A and B are shown apart, each in its own frame.
Chain A
């Protein structure tokens, strides 16, 4: 799985951090998304897909 993010679209809702805290974080400065792991392991795939589905800004793209 390959994850990319669009920080321009991000609105700091934090849904990604709640869904997959090992893959996503929020910047201390403005709460915008920080991608911790662009290639998350198989056991986190469901959580990352959940994060992408819940992101209100449609800022998370998942491939594979």
Chain B
């Protein structure tokens, strides 16, 4: 137990010693890539609200229990504004970049956040997302046809997991899928934990320039896609061009990387839990599939490290006083493994009621595309294993490259055969 055998040094200061503050984040245990880092679970049990040492030397609060996690994410005294001086950025230079070049609305507070978000909420309603199901089913079936006719083994990430959500978000936004190489490559830079600030800035600039061009296209040739709607709001003076570009960039990024990770990592989790895979593969009940999707969202909770926040006022919670101006890190992967809410939380159980999970976050910033993601995942999980019942890994489990260096957790490759 490192950090517990440190000899106490006398101090005259009321400030805690640096050695008392655990470093964060810590690595996942080898051999347990689906589980949050063991140190986070220890803190959840022993010190569920505690200061941690962040990469830049700052000491934000790490909050690891479900109830506190939800309470703080829904608390109007907690800010998501990435230009706040205490907002825990994941890499150097990001606050300056956000101040200078702007930021997506997920990094703003209400009322600005609400104003911008509401311009794109309609296409992501339950009904509109559900209306895309037949098209998504057709897409998934076509991709599986191609996979079965193509090379075997194949990398499921490249051939399927990344393609499904990219096709869907392109269709929804009105972005040509032929540009997917460009936006996937640039998006990668934006989710690396320890990204080089200059590369992030360049990727950001490229994606914004792409959106600028797309908005011009949509103004000249409007269609019935989402970005035509955004362009129309620019024309009507409801959005600035910069706001519109940021919205397009955010939706394109959030729309493909997250679902791709859920498809590939979810498939790997099911392959490693054959009894659970059997339930998913053999059911023809949409409710069973829907429950399995919620449980995989809970179990995998792919947005790792923690939602970055800052306290705007003093907040009393769990016997602690979080001061105005303190930074906060709220990791969903430990909240979703809170044993007081999800009994036997490390067990993947696709039959449990996992609907209360926080994989899509909580509070006013909860995932805009969650219902589209649900439909995508329901279609994928109900189709892939049924159509390829002999699907299995084409490599050993310990050879699979996990995204330990990304904020959106998943696998870089998933070689499969059948």
Contacts and interface: CB of A to CB of B under 8 A. Distances in A.
Nearest to B113: A11
A59 to B, nearest CB: 10
A32 B74 CA distance: 18
Contacts, number: 62
Report, as a range, how many residues of chain A touch the other chain.
20 to 34
Interface string B297-326: 000000000000000000000000000000
A37 to B, nearest CB: 17
A17 interface: yes
A17 B167 CA distance: 26
A18 B287 CA distance: 12
Interface string B343-369: 000000000000110001111101110
A32 B126 contact: no
Interface string B370-385: 1100000000000000
B126 A26 contact: yes
Contacts of B117: 11
Q: Is the interface of B mostly helix, strand, loop or mixed?
A: loop
Interface string A1-39: 000000001011110011100000011111110000000
A40 B124 CA distance: 26
Interface residues of B, number: 25
A12 to B, nearest CB: 4
Given A30-B118, A54-B356, A58-B74, A17 B126 contact: yes
A62 interface: no
Nearest to A13: B366
A24 B6 CA distance: 56
B7 to A, nearest CB: 46
A23 to B, nearest CB: 13
Contacts of B366: 11, 13, 56-57
B17 interface: no
Nearest to A58: B74
A15 B108 CA distance: 23
A30 B364 CA distance: 15
Contacts of A50: 355
Contact of A13 (B114, B122, B355, B370): B370
A18 B356 CA distance: 12
Interface string B72-97: 01100000000000000000000000
B74 A56 contact: yes
Interface of B: 73-74, 114, 117-118, 121-122, 124-129, 355-356, 360-364, 366-368, 370-371
19 contacts: A11-B114, A11-B364, A12-B124, A12-B368, A13-B366, A14-B370, A14-B371, A26-B126, A31-B122, A31-B125, A31-B128, A50-B355, A56-B360, A56-B361, A56-B362, A56-B363, A56-B366, A57-B363, A58-B74
